[in-house]
Amino acid sequence: MVFGFCCGAHAAEVIDRVVALVNGDMISLYELNERMAPFAEKIKNSNDSLARQRPLLFKLREEKLKEIINEKLADQEIERLGIDVQESDVDASVERFKKINRLNDQSLQESLLRQGFTYETFRDRIRKQMLRAVLVNREVRTKIVVTDEEIKQYYNTHIEEFGGEAWYHLKNILKVIEPGAPAEQKLIIFQELQALRQSIETTEDFEAAANAHSDAPNSQEGGEIGTIPLDSLSEPIREAVSKLESGEVSEVIETDQGYQIFLLADLAQSPGTPLESVREQISEKLYQEQVDRAYSKWLDELYKNAYIKQLP
């Protein structure tokens, strides 16, 4: 593969060709090279050898080609759904850009020319960004809801971020699974522990059940583990107990030792920023994380239903 790099109106002459098809829409070598140019220039100007630069350039090519494919898929959805923005909204966005960057009409034009862009190209890019934002808001953002339970769970599992520390007073019941145990035996043990869990209504019930049924060394102490910080637990146990209120019993968890259930006898937190003071901050963080996951999933669905062909 030969790489030629160009930028905007001052692009060097290249032999153009099609590098990918997205539902019949073409992506040209010129378009790809233009997208790669500023990043490729940094690689080429580095002190790395040509042997080290080559895989970096190929990786960059793959990333930027996928980026353009994503945009083509989004633009096709915009057209299919009939999404549009008003010219007055584009004007307002351009004015915001000028204000943020402390530009007037003349300095904006001069800045665009230095980068190889015309004012019309700049407006078109602004318009496309706005259209894609409307699309993402319609197809992804409006379907995201962050619940109070999710906010509370994040706070409890990340209390150290807010200047405090959470300590969990836990008890457990363990049913050991021998190495190499057949699936049928594991299922029987799981069902037995699940039935035992459903019969437990109080802390006293849990302690009695641990004494009678647990395979753990602490069974005679009612399954007592003690009061420990959450980050000292393994991931599956940490995830399960972080959802619990005091007095609640976890779902059956598969661990290295076997199947277990946990009772949260008490939850103690050292002083830190109160939940209500950081609720909005946590909500925004969780919202953005969910948007990112949902957008990725939405794009994956578009990929599955699209005809995409990359050409050599």
pLDDT at position 273 is 84
Structure-derived torsion over alpha carbons of residues 41, 42, 43, 45, reported in degrees to the nearest 10: 80
CB 159 within 8 A of CB 165: yes
Is the pTM of the predicted complex or chain greater than 0.85?
no
217: helix, strand or coil: coil
pLDDT at position 219 is 95
pLDDT at position 200 is 93
pLDDT at position 9 is 43
CB 24 within 8 A of CB 308: no
**Spans in the chain with pLDDT lower than 70:** 1-15, 271
* pLDDT averaged over every residue in the chain: 89
CB 291 within 8 A of CB 140: yes
Helix axes 148-157, 275-304, angle to 10 degrees: 110
Percent of the chain clearing pLDDT 70 (strictly above): 95
> In Å, what is the CA distance from 243 to each residue of 92, 139, 148, 170, 268?
45, 30, 12, 13, 14
pLDDT at position 146 is 94
> In Å, what is the CA distance from 214 to each residue of 61, 123, 174?
57, 69, 5
Alpha-carbon 93 to chain mean position:
28
Eight-class DSSP state of 142: G
Strand (E) or helix (H) holding 177: none
> In Å, what is the CA distance from 211 to each residue of 178, 224, 262, 264, 284?
21, 10, 14, 17, 45
Task: Kindly state the tokens that stand for 49.
Answer: 């050898």
Residue ranges of alpha helices (H) inside 115-234 are: 119-139, 148-157, 183-199, 203-213
* Domains parsed from the chain with CATH numbers: 1-82 (no CATH), 87-139 (no CATH), 166-269 (3.10.50.40)
Q: Please write the tens of the pLDDT for every residue from 119-164.
A: 999 999 999 999 988 998 998 888 899 999 999 888 877 877 887 7
What is the C-alpha to C-alpha distance for residues 5 and 297, in angstroms, rounded to an integer?
32
